[in-house]
Amino acid sequence: MTEPTNLILYGPPGTGKTFATAWEAVRLCLGYGASTKLENDRAALMGEYRRLVDEGRIEFVTFHQSLSYEEFVEGLRPSTGDDDLEAGPETETNAGFSLKCHEGIFKRISERARLDQGDSGGAQHLDRSQALFKLSLIGPDWRNQLAKAVQDNGIAWGFGAGNDWSAPEFEYFDAIKQKWQQSHPGISSGAADISGTRYFRGAIDIDNYVLLTVGKNRIVALGQVDGEYEHRPDAGEREHFRKITWLWTSKDGADRSAFYPKRFSAWQPIYQLAADRIDWDALEEIAFGADTPRVGDVGRDHVLIIDEINRANISKVFGELITLLEQDKRLGAQNEVRVQLPYSKKRFGVPPNLHIVGTMNTADRSIALLDTALRRRFTFKELMPDPTVLSGDVGGINLRTLLSTINERIEYLFDREHQIGHAYFTGCGNRADVEDVMRHKIIPLLAEYFYEDWSKVAAVLGDGQGMTKKHFLESASLQPPKGMLEDDLNSNKLRWSVKRKFDFSEFEA
C-alpha cells in the first residue's frame, strides 16, 4: 500500500517554499528515481508539473482567513429551479432557488485519487464524470421490454413517433418543440413527446449511462451508451433507437434507495438523475458485485498543494477530516476511518495515494500558530535562506555576503525566523536591480519587522549608532516647532530616510 506523505515546508519569507512544492509534487507522483533527473532542470520540471496538473493528479490551493469547510470539502450552494434535472431543463419551474451540495477541492482530488485505475487499469468501475439517465419500462410487459433491450443491445423510444429526429437541428429542444407542435398544437412542452424526445435524441451522449427502471423504486438494467441516435421506421411503435452496451441486467432488479435517495418520477419516462445524489460506490456494488476488485488499490499518486496552510482557521477548514489524514486512518489501512459528510450524507475516507504538501511562513505573526492536532499529523521540513544560490558579483556587489550579513544581524536583533530569503535577490541582474530590491522590499520589510524602530533597521543595514559611514539611511535632527519648548517633545527626534543612491562598499564583490 502507498505510504501517504503529509509534508509542510516552513521558513522565513522568500526561501523558495512555494517554488519547492513543484519538485515535491512531481517527486511524489513519479517516484524519486524518475524525478531525480528533473531536479536541476527547472524548465523540464515545470513541464512535467503542468502535465500532471492537466491529468488532475496535482491540485493547488492557497489558504486564507475566510476559507471554510464548505469551500474546501463540501457545502450547500444555491441553485435555481432551472437546475432541477428531474423536472426537465426546458420545462417551466417556479421562481426561487434551492440549496444543492457542491464538492470542494479536497473532496474532488480525494475521490479522483481513490478511483484512479493506475497505469494497468483492469478494475471495474463507473466513470463519475458521465451523466446517468433513467428510462422507465412502462406497462405489465416490462420483462419482455427488458429482454428485447438486451437482445437488441439498445434502448427504444416510442414517443415522438412518426418523425425522423436525425437532423442536426433536432439536437436542441426548441426545434423538437416547434416540429411536434405543428402537428399537435397546444401540447405542453413538458410532454414526453417533446421533453422526453429531447433527452433521448440530444441530451444523452455516447459513454453516458442509462438505467432501466420499473415503477418508482426498482432498477433492472444498467448500460453505457455506445451509439448516436438512430431512426428505424420499420421497428413499429418504438422507432427511435440508441445502441447500449449492457453492464448489468436482472429480472429481480435492485432497490433504488441503495444508491439514490429520491424516488423516480412516474410522469416523466426519461430524465437525467442529479449527479450530487448518486452513490456511485453503491451502484458499482449492484452492477459488479461486492467482491469485485475496486479501483484505488493500484491507483497512481496524487498531490494536493496547500500554500500558506497556517493562514486559515485549520479546525474550521478541515473539520473532522483532520483525523482522516493520519497514515493508519486512510482507506485500506489497519485503522481505516470513514465519516459521514454533513451535507451529502455520504461515507467518505481519504485514500492512501493522496499526498498533501503545504507551505508555512514562520515570520508572519499576524496569524495563529498551526493547529496542534494538524501539526502532529505532518512532517516538517525547514527551508532557510541559501546565499550560495546567489551570484558573487552583480554590478560589483557580492549578493552572498549582502544576504548573509543582513541575516546575521536580523538573527541577533530579532530571531532566525525573520531572516530574509534568497528569493528576493534571485532576479537581480545588475546593480540597479539590487538597489530596487533594497529600497522597495528589504527596507520596508525590516521596518515592519521592527515596528518602525529605525535604529534597529539602521543596525541591520550597517548604519547604526556609532557608524561613521552611512550606506543606506541618513538621519536628520528634527527641531521643535516654533513656539514650543523642546522639553514638551521629549528632546530632539531623529528622522530616517532612504538615500537616493546606495553605497554597497561593505558588500563589494
Flag whether 247 is in a domain. yes
Q: Is 392 in the same domain as 375? A: no
Q: What's the pTM?
A: 0.77
pLDDT for position 404 = 95
Q: Is 357 in the same domain as 405? A: no
Q: Is 270 in the same domain as 136? A: yes
User: What is the extent of the structural domain holding 326?
Assistant: 6-74+297-382
Q: Is 137 in the same domain as 269? A: yes
Flag whether 333 is in a domain. yes
pLDDT for position 181 = 92
The x, y and z cell numbers of residue 117, run together, are 485505475
The CATH number covering residue 144 comes to 3.10.590.10
Q: Is 191 in the same domain as 279? A: yes
Q: Is 392 in the same domain as 461? A: yes
Residue corresponding to grid cell 526561501 = 15
3-state SS string over 87-129? HCCCCCCCCCEEEEEEECHHHHHHHHHHHCCCCCCCCCCCCCC
Flag whether 483 is in a domain. yes
pLDDT for position 90 = 42
Residue-wise pLDDT tens digits, 182-230:
989 989 888 999 999 999 999 999 999 999 999 999 999 999 999 999 9
The CATH number covering residue 353 comes to 3.40.50.300
Flag whether 91 is in a domain. no
pLDDT for position 492 = 52
Q: Is 137 in the same domain as 283? A: yes
Q: Is 281 in the same domain as 306? A: no
Q: Is 199 in the same domain as 281? A: yes
Flag whether 456 is in a domain. yes
DSSP state of 174: H
For residue 497, report the phi and psi dihedrals to the nearest 5 degrees: -145, 155
Question: What percent helix, strand, coil does the chain show, rounded to 5?
Answer: 35, 20, 40
Flag whether 112 is in a domain. no
DSSP state of 192: I
pLDDT for position 159 = 92
Residue-wise pLDDT tens digits, 372-394:
777 888 999 999 999 999 999 99
Q: Is 309 in the same domain as 242? A: no
- Residue 472 contacts by C-beta under 8 Å, 6 or more apart in sequence? 438, 443, 461, 462, 463, 498, 499, 502, 503
The x, y and z cell numbers of residue 251, run together, are 429480472
CA distance 292 to 296: 12
Residues of the chain with pLDDT under 70: 1-2, 80-97, 119-123, 291-298, 365-371, 465-468, 475-481, 483-501
pLDDT for position 92 = 41
Alpha carbons within 13 angstroms on the beta-carbon side of residue 98 total 9
- Residue 145 contacts by C-beta under 8 Å, 6 or more apart in sequence? 137, 138, 139
Separation in Å, CA 410 to CA 377, 401, 422, 495: 31, 14, 14, 22
Flag whether 471 is in a domain. yes
Q: Looking at 258, 288, 318, which one is the last position of a domain?
A: 288
Flag whether 92 is in a domain. no
Residue corresponding to grid cell 531536479 = 39
